[in-house]
């Protein structure tokens, strides 16, 4: 499964993004969830970051990536992730530490409705690169339309 990037960022749709249920090792002493590259996510994890202390009513994201893959996990609390491929939007509620949302390149994402004390863990396929961001929605629309034009 490693590096099976068979849909380009320009062609990706929200239906190519999915919730992944990760293995949960339940124990009286507490639970443990593992994310295995190759088995759980179709990319090698190069970077991990997390959002925390998010003030009530705040939203994050509001951008797309040209090549970056991500797995987004609510390791504590809950929040909503709205994905947008330029045509269709899908909103996912992340509220379990063993659920990960796989987000492909070329998808605009917005995170909001953070519960108090929630922590958003993100596993990413590449190191931080500002050039990989599309931060303007009009630029995003153009990026997605380039595809359609090039595949006509």
- Residues near ligand TYD (CB under 6 A) are 47, 49, 51, 60-61, 63, 128
Cβ of residue 100: shortest distance to ligand TYD, in angstroms? Answer: 16
For ligand TYD, the closer of residues 133 and 147 by Cβ is 133
Active site residue 127: no
For ligand TYD, the closer of residues 110 and 147 by Cβ is 110
What DSSP letter does each residue of 57-119 carry, written as one string?
Answer: T--EEEEEESS--EEEEEEES-EEEEEE-SS-EEEEEE--TTEEEEE-TT-EEEEE-PPTT-E
For ligand TYD, the closer of residues 65 and 144 by Cβ is 65
Cβ of residue 57: shortest distance to ligand TYD, in angstroms? Answer: 14
Q: For residue 28, what are its two tokens? A: 């009286």
Cα separation of 84 and 91, whole Å? Answer: 9
Cα separation of 23 and 28, whole Å? Answer: 16
CA-based end-to-end distance of the chain: 29
From 25, 27, 63, 65, the catalytic residue: 63
For ligand TYD, the closer of residues 21 and 139 by Cβ is 139
Place of tokens 């996510």: 41
Cβ of residue 56: shortest distance to ligand TYD, in angstroms? Answer: 16
Cβ of residue 129: shortest distance to ligand TYD, in angstroms? Answer: 9
Catalytic residues: 63
């Amino acid at each position: 499964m490693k590096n099976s990037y068979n849909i380009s960022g320009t062609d990706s749709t929200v239906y190519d993004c999915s919730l992944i249920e990760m293995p949960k090792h339940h124990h009286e002493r507490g639970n443990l969830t593992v994310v295995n590259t190759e088995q759980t996510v179709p990319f090698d994890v190069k970077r991990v970051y997390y959002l925390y202390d998010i003030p009530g009513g705040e939203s994050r994201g509001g951008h797309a990536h040209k090549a970056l893959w991500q797995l987004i996990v609510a390791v504590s609390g809950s929040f909503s992730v709205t994905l947008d491929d330029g045509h269709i939007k899908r909103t996912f509620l992340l509220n379990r530490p063993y659920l990960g949302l796989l987000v492909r390149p070329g998808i605009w994402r917005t995170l909001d409705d953070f519960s108090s004390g929630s922590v958003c863990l993100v596993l990413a396929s590449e190191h931080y690169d500002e050039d990989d961001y599309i931060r303007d929605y009009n630029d995003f629309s153009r990026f997605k339309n380039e595809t359609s034009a090039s595949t006509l």
